Amino acid sequence: MAVDKNQVVAALGGVATPRGVALPQAGVLSDITVTDGKVFFSINVDAAEARAWEDVRAKADAAVRAIPGVVTALVALTAEKRPGSAPAPQPHSHNHSHGVKPAATHRPQGPPPESPMGKQVAIPGIANIIAIASGKGGVGKSTTALNLALALRDLGLRVGLLDADIYGPSVPRLIGVNEKPKLNDAKKMIPIKRFGMPMMSIGFLVAEETAMVWRGPMVMSAIRQMLWDVIWGELDVLVVDMPPGTGDAQLTLAQQVPLRGAVIVSTPQDLALIDARRGIAMFAKVDVPTLGIIENMSYFECPECGTRSDIFGHGGARHEAERLKVPFLGEIPLHMAIRTSSDAGTPVVESDPKGTHAAIYRAIADRIKHRLAGASAHI
Ligand code: ADP
């Protein structure tokens, strides 16, 4: 039975609010999106009121989930800080159990946290979360994230992959899987298992073309659910494929996910490097250390003759890393096999583990592993 928006509004009619009227009449609801039994909306209130509305959010979430035919509900409470109002209240840690909390759109005032993990409560069972990021799209970030996750796995680590690329979640395509994660009895999502790794993608929850219309806070709410409401199990590393770019959505994500560090993927061209620089600056702003830069499509390797040509002026990322005093992690060639294996749903590290490309990814993964160990992570 298809769920429609009217049913959602009717169900929300039973949810009382601090304004003395039912939720649909309180003037705080965003557009309600209903697709294939998946319901998304946000409740927008002033930051000063956010705590009082957390209970409303929970009740709205429960009311929507109780509608027959609803598969997923993502109800975000967004706390807008208006000029002159108090800073957004910080959520209590017990809220993490359901994963959806006020999405503070501003960084709270006060001293910077002592460590990147200090600003967010760690996810139980996950020792390290690392972001794979890029200053712009199309540089091969997702391909690199997945192959690195596989390479870290091959080094003996327990690895998971979270595709948080809200603008174009590509993990479903790259792993050749597009199925909805199932829920366990406690309504927690069971991640998709592929190549021996648990994986979640925003693409499993929404169709690729609808992802763009998500508003920032709703996106954050979905990401939180994918972090806290998923049975990840015990992991040494969770690799997060970030949305490309350095805008507000990326900044919020970098700020809200308890990241141990970030890996920046760039191509060698100057323009891409300028964007990579912005990426490093963005992570620095939220106290997330850059673990290093990877130069992807570093040089062209002819699949026929093996001849190498530096079509993009190879080496730019290494110089940039030196200039910015961040580690340079390695160079990945532009090679047909990397693209075709990904397109076929079995990335090169998995399909050709003994090949030269798998060895390159493993060498980079090894450097990341050592950097994590050096940062006294549990690894
Ligand atoms: P992004 O996540 O940065 O948008 P993708 O990982 O989706 O980029 O890669 C964009 C395209 O480039 C894909 O078709 C992918 O297969 C291809 N690609 C990425 N890295 C390489 C590489 N090293 N060699 C050949 N093709 C690559």
Q: State in Å: Cα 222 to ligand 1 middle.
A: 25
In a domain, 113, yes or no: no
**Burial code of 6-45, b = ≥16 C-beta within 10 A, e = fewer?**
ebbeebbeebebeeeeebbebebbeebbbeebbbbbbbbb
Domain end among 42, 60, 80: 80
- Ligand 1 pocket member 141 (CB < 6 A): yes
Contact 23, 57 (CB under 8 A): no
In a domain, 118, yes or no: no
**What's the rounded Cα separation, in Å, for the pair 60 and 16?**
9
Shared domain check, 163 and 73: no
In a domain, 21, yes or no: yes
Domain range for residue 157?
129-374
Domain end among 80, 105, 139: 80
Shared domain check, 300 and 192: yes
> For every one of its 379 residues, what pLDDT tens digit does the chain have, with 9 covering 90 and above?
688 999 999 999 999 998 888 999 998 888 788 887 888 888 887 767 777 888 898 899 999 999 999 887 888 777 654 433 333 333 333 333 333 333 333 333 333 333 343 446 678 899 999 999 998 888 999 999 999 999 999 999 999 999 998 878 889 989 988 888 898 988 889 999 999 999 999 888 776 556 555 656 667 777 888 888 899 999 999 999 998 988 877 888 888 888 999 999 998 876 667 888 889 999 998 889 999 999 998 778 777 787 877 766 677 788 888 888 899 999 999 998 999 998 899 999 999 999 999 999 999 999 999 999 875 545 6
Shared domain check, 52 and 149: no
Query: What's the CATH code of the domain at 315?
Result: 3.40.50.300
Shared domain check, 348 and 245: yes
Segment 371-378 long-range contacts (CB within 8 Å, at least 24 positions apart): 371/261, 371/291, 371/292, 371/327, 372/128, 372/130, 372/237, 372/260, 372/261, 372/291, 375/260, 375/261, 375/289, 377/127, 377/128, 377/260, 378/127, 378/128, 378/236
Angle 369-370-372 from CA coordinates, rounded to 5°: 65
Shared domain check, 137 and 71: no
Nearest CA to ligand 1 atom 24: 334
In a domain, 94, yes or no: no
pLDDT at 323: 87
- Ligand 1 pocket member 147 (CB < 6 A): no
Nearest CA to ligand 1 atom 12: 140
- Ligand 1 pocket member 341 (CB < 6 A): no
Query: What's the CATH code of the domain at 63?
Result: 3.30.300.130
pLDDT at 112: 34
In a domain, 166, yes or no: yes
pLDDT at 357: 95
Shared domain check, 187 and 327: yes
Nearest CA to ligand 1 atom 8: 140
Domain end among 49, 80, 111: 80
Contact 361, 344 (CB under 8 A): no
Q: State in Å: Cα 260 to ligand 1 middle.
A: 25
In a domain, 30, yes or no: yes
Shared domain check, 277 and 191: yes
Shared domain check, 289 and 356: yes
Shared domain check, 171 and 75: no
Q: State in Å: Cα 292 to ligand 1 middle.
A: 19
Q: Which two tokens stand for residue 5?
A: 């928006």
Shared domain check, 280 and 193: yes
Q: Count the domains in the chain.
A: 2
Q: Which two tokens stand for residue 14?
A: 């039973």
Shared domain check, 232 and 317: yes
- pTM, 2 dp: 0.72
Where are the extended beta strands (E) located within the chain?
33-35, 38-46, 72-80, 103-104, 126-133, 159-163, 182-183, 189-190, 192-194, 197-201, 235-241, 261-266, 290-301, 308-309, 328-334
Shared domain check, 171 and 54: no
